[in-house]
Structure 1
Amino acid sequence: MGTDDSDGSPSNVRTPEDETTTQTDLSSGSTDSESSSEQSAVSVSDDSSPSYPDSNDSSQSIEDMLLEFDEQEGLIRDRSLLDPNYVVEEDRIVGRDEQLQEVTKMLRVALGDNRPPNLFLYGPSGTGKSLITKAVCNNISQLCETRDISFGTIEVNCQDLDTLGVAVYELTKQAANQAGVEVEVPKHGVATKEKWDELYRIVNEHFDSVVFVLDELDMLVGRRDKQEPAFSRLLYQLSRASANDELTAHISVVAISNDAKMMEAVGSRALSSFTPEDVHFDDYDANQLQAILRRRKDAFHDGVVDEDVIPLAAAFAAQTHGDARKAIDLIRVAGELAEREGDTSVREEHVREAQEKVEKNRVLEVVRGISTQKKLCLYATAAVAAQTDDGSARSTTGYRVYQFLTETIDADQYHQETYVNKMKELTTYSLVDFERRSHGPSSGMFLEFQFGERPETILETLCEDSRIDMVDTEEVQSVVRAQIRNQT
């Protein structure tokens, strides 16, 4: 009997050293006299139940506060438009005319009950890859209904899927949800082949045509003992299923990745059967981001968004890879901050406050889930970037600071190659990017890391780890300055 690829070590395991817990001593400062006066304020009724004086008569109850907020008109009229994952109408999609036409022309053959080609959509995060795919598939689905064609879009985000078996089960579950049926195999304890068979059964019985959308596919690496990454085996199996008569429905696979070089890691067998059409998505510029936000401005009530809010939010997002998701998040958080403060409009200061909050929240989300070694590598590199004129950090300099950090907290110290590899792994989170450089014959080759967020924010967040917080910040800065001076 086959083995279940989904079994194994659980994903996203966090160790105590990855997160810190702070405790506040609430008892400090209390005195015996205070304790005595508190006790004397308690009266005992006839039924021996203690009753406390009503010292909060002037404050609102939770219910009153909730109802008061419910009665307020607020500043935001339609919160769905401020959700970056919400599939908006076609006229709200901006700056992606070429990509929209390409994807539409290639997938439209499903309307004639034919098999669309496989696609590979690549480009930085937040550049419209998923949005356009969903928008096109939604339109195809609506037209197919009028033509008595059963069309399905089976979408999974591979970021949180750790093995091939889990990925196949997730596809099966999504197919079953669309078909309105139950999955008849368990998630764990059976061979992956049984999950494949269940997926094929559901698709064959309920669909004429299916588009499998595999978002962030490069994150599905799978077990390290496999010679081929899990995403390669997934592509091979899906693209070969029709040829092997395992699937009678027409299927197309849309692979979406931030990594333009993902296909280089796909095995030769999968590559020969997948053979996708490539569609590249480049960064949004500030003008395009402004246009995107203006087409979502009606999420707010009329006249509540100041004129400088959208240009500022677009400028912040343009600084970090032209990410539309970040731009939309910024105006949403700015609006929520203004509402909570009881303001009558969303202003520039709300956007700046939102920028700090969104940036820190995003960094927190990333660094809390990574290992201590990756945190040390990231801290060392960010410490260098924070003190350079252009906000970049050479791998050679970062490694020497990393050595200092590991010696200071008595942690395992890895070779420079491992340090570089761990920093490269962090590029998948769009937190850091790198280029290979040489500053003359004497310096040799090195990687130069650049951060998508402020290095200071990353350093502040990493210090929430108790082991890193042990390090003297001024001492680290002194080491960094010395290493930067020694750069050749």
Structure 2
Amino acid sequence: MTDDAGTPPSRPSSDDSTEPGSQSPADPPSESVGDDTESDQPSQSIEDLLLAFDDQKGLIRDRSLLDPNYVIDEDRIVGRDAQIEQVTKMLRVALGNNRPPNLFLYGPSGTGKSLITKAVCHNISRLCETRDIHFGTIEVNCQGLDTLGVAVYELAKEAADEASVELTVPKHGVATNEKWNELYRIVNENFDAVVFVLDELDMLVGRRDKQTPAYSRLLYQLSRAGTNDALSAYVSVVAISNDTKMMESVGSRARSSFTPEDVHFDDYNATQLQAILRRRQDAFYDGVVDEDVIPLAAAFAAQTHGDARKAIDLIRVAGELAEREGADRIRESHVRAAQENVEKNRVLEVIRGISTQKKLCLYATAAVAAQTDDSSAQSPVGYRVYQFLTETLDVDQYHQETYVNKMKELTTYSLVDFERRSYGPSSGMFLEFQFSEQPETIVKTLREDSRIDGLSAADVESVVTAQLRSRNR
């Protein structure tokens, strides 16, 4: 059982249980000393192990329902009636062969933004087919796309896949304008209306070759394409972001042409998460899920910002763990084991998924905290190290206020916390960041990014040392 706050029930005592693999005093030794029998032969061949899976009674009947990205039926969507109505009403004009408005969907990760967009577009596409309207949904996740040119190529590739036609430009070696022209050609020749879905758009920062972020230039080009002669099809852009303040960084020209309708998504609570999981319980065979499994999984997910993706992943991992050990049911113990697996690297996975600019802000601040006695970092020192990083990598550089705001945003992931401080009139007011994880671990994880790994760790450490000395004088 869980309360409204989503607190997991306490773990039952296991003092009387025997550790797996342990032997009682009466058990004979597993191998006699001096036994001449060959012991290095596998007990089962790979084929035997594979065939044993055929004989094993499975617990998961439909794995697609345990994929958070799978487009599910709308009766499985829980707690998002208002958002479904908003998105549907604004995009439905495509059914009349008209241009839908642009949308900006924002809110924490795992709150249904992508899920609802896909579900609405899927239904529009199905109805458009009955009206001889060629409607297309071209979706790109911007995480990991480092330049505008790569993003345009991915859009053209998705458009070609949607239209089942051949893409005629390469990913590299041609100008971005050629990629734009290819995208326009595919859309004009194959669609009457198109919705471009740009998921995690704030991740597309780009390099320092332009004054505005790459996502700003992408929004400008796409939203303007319908007003000039580039596109004859009706075009709508749906921008999706976890960053509620992303639009503040969009250039004035892009904001003027994009002018989206905003749709906000808030966290799921424990009750909603339970309902989400129960709507997907038929992913498992009847009667194999213990009664306390879903409430416990929902409670764990409610503690991590009400993320439905986490809840679905948790119950999937619990089912897979139960299958691997040959259990006949999914029990509370499997959920707790799954939670340990999922949460083990939760914070580190968040670090790997944030935008390059946020990584640089975090890396600079963690590098400072790694050299202080209390694992804290003052914002003026962190910003000067951040300046060194951006200048060395030749990427866009935020003003100090934006750097501070990006660090504040990272508090929503439980990575850092901050306090406003002043050490006297000469120091002024500043923010002091404290880390929930070891700063050294965060630095090490961030260096898995190939661009950040190109920085000399010794140079960064030297800059941090010099800035801390300067600050303490």
TM-score where L is the length of structure 1: 0.72
User: Are residue 310 (structure 1) and residue 294 (structure 2) matched?
Assistant: yes
Q: Distance in 2 between the 1:383 and 1:358 partners?
A: 30
Q: In structure 2, give the amino acid aligned to 1:258.
A: N
Q: Distance in 1 between matches of 2:61 and 2:380?
A: 47
Listed as ranges, the matches of 1:264-413 within 5 Å are 264-366=248-350, 374=362, 377-378=365-366, 395-396=377-378
In the alignment, which residue of structure 2 is the partner of 1:29? none
TM-superposed deviation, 1:361: 3.7
**Is the contact between residue 105 and residue 113 of structure 2 (CA under 8 Å) also seen in structure 1?**
yes
| Deviations 1:423-466, CA, capped at 9 Å, x for gaps | 94695696446677547997975547688xx7479959959999
Give the deviation of 1:71 after TM superposition: 2.4
Give the corresponding residue for 1:7: none
Identity %: 70
Shift of 1:75: 1.2
- CA distance, structure 1, for counterparts of residue 332 and residue 95 of structure 2: 47
Number of corresponding residues:
395
User: Which runs of 5 or more residues in structure 2 are unaligned?
Assistant: 1-33, 386-398, 454-473
Q: What residue is the counterpart of 1:170 in the other structure?
A: 154
TM-aligned CA deviation for residue 236 of structure 1: 0.5
Instruction: Give the partner amino acid of 2:143.
Output: Q
Task: Return the letter of the residue paired with 2:298.
Answer: A
Q: Which residue of 1 aligns with 2:77?
A: 93
Which secondary structure does the structure 2 equivalent of 1:160 belong to? coil
Are 2:130 and 1:146 equivalent residues in the alignment? yes
Could you tell me how far apart the structure 2 residues matched to 1:100 and 1:277 are? 14
Alpha-carbon distance in 2 for matches of 1:89, 1:117: 24
Partner of 2:237: 253
**CA separation of 1:364/1:205 partners in 2, compared to 1, >3 Å: closer, same or farther?**
same
Residue identity opposite 2:101 in structure 1: P
Retained in 2: the 8 A contact 1:437–1:445? no
Moved more, 279-288 or 437-446: 437-446
| Structure 1 SS opposite 2:275 | helix
The yes-or-no answer on 1:235 pairing with 2:226 is: no
Tell me which of 153, 159, 165 is aligned to 1:181. Answer: 165
Distance in 1 separating the partners of 2:138 and 2:411: 24
Compute the displacement of 1:307 (Å). Answer: 1.6
CA-CA distance at 1:359 after TM superposition: 1.7
Match 2:102 to one of 105, 110, 118: 118
The answer on whether the counterparts of 2:110 and 2:310 sit within 8 Å (CA) in structure 1 is yes
Aligned to 2:10: none
Unaligned runs of 5+ in 1: 1-36, 42-52, 388-392, 404-416, 468-488
Could you tell me which residue of structure 1 aligns to residue 90 of structure 2? 106
Paired with 1:316 and 1:456, the residues of 2 have a C-alpha distance of 23
Q: Which residue of 1 aligns with 2:47?
A: 63
Matched residue type, 2:283: A
Q: Verify the 8 A CA contact 2:367 2:443 in the aligned structure 1.
A: no
Counterpart in the other structure of 1:47: none
Following TM superposition, by how much is the alpha carbon of 1:316 offset from its aligned partner in structure 2, in angstroms? 1.3
Partner of 2:142: 158
Residue type at the aligned position of 2:216: S
Evaluate the alpha carbon distance shift between residue 440 and residue 463 of structure 1 in structure 2; reply closer, same or farther with a 3 A threshold. closer
**1:91 counterpart letter in structure 2:** D
8 Å contact kept, 1:436–1:447: yes
Q: Is the 8 A contact 1:367 1:462 kept in 2?
A: no
Paired with 2:116 and 2:234, the residues of 1 have a C-alpha distance of 21
Q: Secondary structure at the match of 2:85?
A: helix
Match of 1:206 in 2: 190
Alignment of structure 1 residues 16-55 onto 2, 5 Å: none
Q: Residue 30 of structure 2 aligns with which residue? A: none
For residue 268 of structure 1, report the CA deviation from its aligned partner.
0.6
In 2: Cα distance, 1:302 partner to 1:382 partner:
51
Instruction: Give me the CA root mean square deviation.
Output: 3.8
- State the one-letter code of the partner of 1:209: A
Match of 2:462 in 1: none
